[in-house]
Copies of this chain bind each other. A is one copy, B any other.
Amino acid sequence: MPRVVVDVVLKPEISDPQGQAVLGALGRLGHPGVTSVRQGKHFVLEVEGTPDAAELRQIAETLLANPVIEDVELHLPSD
């Protein structure tokens, strides 16, 4: 069954306290080489038949993400 991956990330101008907390922990735990961490969501959808790119983009942009603060990266099976 075709798998579609949707990554939802905060827009660059939106602050990310979760990512900042992870970044601080990495520094304290001996990984100073990591200079930025941003945390988002990762959805894996299984769809019946051939994925409809337009429908999936609409699902991703309107139902899985908040378009006010988040951007969407859609990965169709052909990617």
CA distance in complex: A11, B46 (Å): 16
**B40 contacts A45, CB within 8 Å?**
no
CA distance in complex: A55, B33 (Å): 10
Closest-CB distance, A75 to chain B (whole angstroms)? 11
Counting every copy of the chain, the complex holds 2
Evaluate whether A64 and B22 lie within 8 angstroms (CB atoms) in the complex, with A39-B43, A41-B40, A43-B39 already known: yes
Within 8 Å CB of A48, what residues of B? 33-35
For the complex, count residues of A whose C-beta is within 8 A of B. Answer: 32
Which chain A residues have a beta carbon within 8 Å of chain B's beta carbons?
1, 7-9, 19, 22, 25-26, 29, 31, 33-49, 52, 55, 59, 63-64
